[in-house]
Amino acid sequence: MDSRVVTRTKTMVEGDVAQVVSTAPLPLAGFTIGVTAARRAEDFAALLIRKGAMVLHAPAIKIIPLADDDELERATESVVQSPPDIVIATTGIGFRGWVEAAESWGESGRLLHALKRTRVLSRGPKTTGAIRAAGLREEWSPEGESAAEVVRYLLTEGVAGVRIAVQLHGTGSQWEVQYDICAALRDAGAVVLPVPVYRWTPPADLGPLDRLIDACVSGALDALTFTSAPAVASVLSRAKASGMFDELRTALRGGMLVACVGPVTAAPLQAIDVPTVQPAKARLGALARYLVEELPARVPQLDVAGSALSIRGQGVVLDGEMKALPPAGMALLRALARCPGHVVSMQELLVALPGNSDDTHAVEAAVGRLRALLGEPRLVQTVVKRGYRLAVELA
């Protein structure tokens, strides 16, 4: 999926951009969500689009084809030649990919034969599914789906002198904070064989990623989503390389919703004091449902002149109807909504308007257009010689 902006219902394509005009107030209508996923990005974006969101996609990582990975082939040969006592499988996609890569080398039969002679521990349900699909059976899997639980389980029984293969994923990064299984087991006396499955690098084309970072910094996104810790690492590393790290961190600490699929993904952001939210289950579908519930709930509904008004990223919901507004209209409405019912001066509104005009007539013209687009002039009241106010009754 290329970097593009999308919404839903009636499609119009212009060059690289697909726009869909919403005719109903879907729960995510008017919100723009950044997607950094490389794998299953189209599926995830489709879930958000069906709920009315605009999606800006920029794959943050490029996954290296497993069949081309010499390091994985060497680790596989070591497992085949001398099967370890224990194998820890950490991800479903990683375990499946390992078997598929071995098959492409003509080694899957020997690998599975070796794994049948070992104790296989699974980190979670998706990993367990991949293990069973390969014709194997796991010995144990933790309820909390965490690597730390797997390590505690092994340390309780003792691992001194035990040969343990650990199916890893990804590459190290100064921004990547994750539980180091290998180090913990080595410290306890185990002989550890890392099996580096599905490694990644930054994307070949950094343009979409740069545009995503710019969108975060400029406030064009309502939410930014991450589905892997390496994607977080890649975004932060790119921002640092381009001199945008401080600006990006400030934006992520601001009003933007930063949503991660699970705690491992969130850890690099929490390490730099960026607040994150996560669904109860670490699944793409659960993350999409969480956004559907959370984003609208974060937007207060105002009673303005007897109408229900909710201001979103790219428009407003007025009495259940989505109304798209241009940047000037959104800027004015946000400025007025910061103090609902109170007068906002012409000068303050002039500062809020995009552009560098110093003529207060620009405010008058923008207010006129805003009233016309809302279809209800009473919502924005003129206070003669002072400014404008949203028609909210003050307590």
pLDDT for position 16: 35
Q: What is the pLDDT of residue 236?
A: 95
pLDDT of residue 364: 92
User: Is the pLDDT assigned to residue 21 strictly greater than 50?
Assistant: no
pLDDT at 328 over 70: yes
Q: What is the pLDDT of residue 8?
A: 36
Same fold, 66-200 and 301-390: no
Residues of the chain with pLDDT > 90, as a percent, come to: 57
Contacts of residue 49, Cβ cutoff 8 Å, sequence gap at least 6: 6, 7, 8, 20, 55
pLDDT in tens, 220-258: 899 999 998 889 989 999 999 999 999 999 999 988 999
Which CATH number is associated with domain 301-390? Answer: 1.10.10.10
Distances (CA, A) of 210 to 61, 189, 223: 13, 44, 16
Q: Is 3.40.50.10090 the CATH classification of the domain at 66-200?
A: yes
CA–CA separation, 393 vs 386, rounded Å?
18
Please tell me which residue, 213 or 219, carries the higher pLDDT value: 213
For residue 170, what pLDDT is reported?
Answer: 52
Which two tokens mark 141? 């899997």
What is residue 73's predicted lDDT score, i.e. its pLDDT?
A: 92
Overall residue count recorded for the chain in this entry = 395
* Residue 35: pLDDT over 90: yes
What is the distance of C-alpha 271 from the center of its chain?
17
- Residue 15 pLDDT greater than 50, yes or no: no
Q: What is the pLDDT of residue 70?
A: 85
Nearest C-alpha neighbor of 1 from the set 205, 200, 197: 205
pLDDT at 132 over 80: yes
For residue 227, give the nearest of 171, 282, 297, 148 by alpha carbon.
282
Class of domain 5-60+203-297: alpha beta
Contact 316, 304 (CB under 8 A): no
Residue 197, pLDDT > 50, answer: yes
Among 170-179, 284-293, 319-328, the range scoring the smallest mean pLDDT is 170-179
Confidence band of 10 (pLDDT split at 50, 70, 90): very low
The structural domains of the chain, with segments of one domain joined by +, span 5-60+203-297, 66-200, 301-390
Amino acid at residue number 362: A
pLDDT of residue 171 exceeding 70, the answer is no
pTM score of the predicted model: 0.68
What mean pLDDT is predicted for residues 140-152?
89
Q: What are phi and psi of 237, to 5 degrees?
A: -65, -40
Output the DSSP codes for 92-103.
HHHHHHHHHHHH
Residue 141 has a pLDDT of 95
- What's the pLDDT band for 65 if we cut at 50, 70, 90? low
Whether the pLDDT of residue 12 is over 70: the answer is no
pLDDT score for 11: 32
Determine which of 11-20, 73-82, 140-149, 362-371 has the lowest per-residue pLDDT on average: 11-20
